[in-house]
Structure 1
Amino acid sequence: MGHLTHRDLNASVERLRDQVAHALRAALISGELRPGVVYSAPTLAEDFGISATPVREAMLDLAREGLVEPVRNKGFRVTEVDERDLDQYTEIRALIEIPVVGRVARTAAREDLEALRPVAEEIVRAAREHDLIGYLEADRRFHLTLLGLAGNERLVETVGELRKRSRLYGLTALDERGELIPSAEEHLELLDLMLAGDAKGAERCMKRHLGHVRSLWATSDRATSDRATSDRATSDRAAHTTG
């Protein structure tokens, strides 16, 4: 299963569950694990080359986050996110992030903002190099670190959870069309506006960025839903044939 089969998982029992959960989240975000499709812990464990127990535990962690749901005697189904969900997640993020960006632009120390430039550049570089997991990880660090400059830990946790639930599906197709690069470059634009003390401009940029991300979600979600429907139909036909 792509990068899942090549991850260097530490043998430590304490860390194995977290490492598997991280790898599964990455697979969910990138679209390797498709919405609506049921995956069994033993099958995924074979891909990892480990026992099913830490995989099952990791999937239960993801279930508590709302990323998957248990299916009795079968495994876990990847949660499907519909257009209404995405609209609501975007609205909540906009209500939080747009004014907070404006406040941080007015109050943050210049050195704290400058410290984010390497991360913003990493986002752009990852998009250009087609490193999807690197792109998403750097994007997460940029946004949550930026929000953290407001000094409200609960706010950062809330946005972090929203980001998990509104993960991007099918990034490969978006990457192939070059649609990730403009979104990536908006991080540098936002940072420059904040360093210039242009709070209103930063708020406008963040609003545009969230709208851009929402359009990527919609495009990606529709394409992945079509694939998932095709997968289920193929699975049903196979079951009917062998049953």
Structure 2
Amino acid sequence: MEQAGSLGARGSTGSAAPDIRTASVRVPAQARTADAERERGVASDESRSASGARGEHTHSEPPIPHPRVETARPVVQRASVRGQILDALRTALVAGELAPGQVYSAPVLGERFGVSATPVREAMQQLALEGAVEVVPNRGFRVVRRGTRELAELAEIRALLEVPVVLRLARTVPAARWAELRPLAEAAARAASAGCRATYAECDRAFHHAILALAGNDQLVQIADDLHRRAQWPLVGGPVPRGRADLMADAAEHIALLDALTAQDLPVVQSLVREHFADRT
């Protein structure tokens, strides 16, 4: 429920999520060989990565900041390179390390991650489909500029979808099922206590996802998750990113909501869930 992905194991909680500055993805040698074979058709472009593959110019890109804290560098398996790069880019978006309005090329990002430009380009194309970035011909991908009005619109749509569902579930779901969600709420609280916005964003989405999944409507869950992710992207000229205290207050609402759902206290459930989305506007 916080505005605001992770390289390596998705959904890990309680520790700071890796970011684009610290998570240099290391692909095993045999994986690189296989990758090279798969990309034989674009080898000539990749060999010119210093000047930009497929016409993507890299000389004007700002340097990526050096890491503040050293973190473990996970090994990416060949079959999941694209997925892990996508997670890393999503984490960088939430953490504000991919700046709105800035253009990034696949070759430069691929060099940072220790992979070829192809999986980075594929991940960026997925982000383009999601509306996070836009394609800039012969240059790369520009992070979309978003304002507070868009955030308010997303919060309104999420409330229209989620509030009625949660209220219906409050009347029908037994207490034991709500108790199964408590570890997710506690994981969010730990991430909030650590002050990691990217990790908290993952925990927040996982908590909402688990609640809505009880409705048994896969389409609803998918749409709500997409809206939630969009609501976590950085804003241009928006408020200062929420700090540790704000995250902890947000996480506390998860715990309070679970308590009310377990007790089937419908007035409290309604009040909490409505206020939760009102805080996002």
- Give the TM-score range, shorter chain: 0.7 to 0.9
Q: Could you tell me whether the CA contact under 8 Å between 1:67 and 1:165 is conserved in 2?
A: yes
Aligned equivalent of 1:11, options 77, 82, 106: 77
Contact 2:201 2:232 in 1 (8 A): no
1:97 Cα deviation after fit: 1.0
Contact 1:183 1:212 (8 Å CA) reproduced: no
* Separation of aligned partners in 1, 2:22 and 2:158: 30
> Unpaired segments of 5 or more residues in structure 1?
215-243
The correspondence for 2:162, drawn from 75, 78, 97, is 97
Task: Return the offset for 1:83.
Answer: 2.2
**CA-CA distance at 1:7 after TM superposition:** 4.5
Identity, % of aligned pairs? 43
Unaligned runs of at least 5 residues, structure 2: 1-19, 25-71
Partner in structure 2 of residue 234 of structure 1: none
The equivalent of 2:248 in structure 1 is 181
Alignment of 1:173-212 (within 5 A): 173-175=241-243, 178-212=245-279
Other-structure match for 2:103: 38
Give the letter aligned to residue 8 of structure 1: P
Higher relative contact order (CA 8 A, sep 6+): 2
Counterparts of 2:158 and 2:255, CA distance in 1: 20
In structure 1, the residue matched to 2:21 is: 2
Q: Which SS does the other structure have where 2:135 is aligned?
A: strand
Q: 1:93, 1:159 within 8 Å by CA — same for their partners in 2?
A: yes
Q: Which is richer in helix?
A: 1
Change (3 A) 1:97 1:181: same
- Say which of 120, 141, 147 aligns to 1:55: 120
Q: Is the 8 A contact 1:101 1:199 kept in 2?
A: no
TM-score, normalised with respect to structure 1: 0.82
Q: Are the counterparts in 2 of residues 68 and 77 from structure 1 also a CA contact under 8 Å?
A: yes
SS at 2:142's partner residue? strand
From 85, 106, 111, the counterpart of 1:20: 85
* CA contact 1:71–1:77 (8 Å) conserved in 2: yes
- Greater Rg over alpha carbons, structure: 2
Which deviates the most, 76-85 or 113-122? Answer: 76-85
Determine the structure 1 residue equivalent to 2:143: 78
User: Could you tell me how far apart the structure 1 residues matched to 2:148 and 2:180 are?
Assistant: 35
How many pairs were matched up? 212
Superposed CA deviations along residues 10-37 of structure 1, whole A, max 9, x for unmatched, are 231x311111001101111121111111
Q: Which amino acid aligns with 1:207?
A: R
Matches of 1:101 and 1:168 in 2, distance apart? 24
Maintained 8 Å contact 1:40/1:76: yes
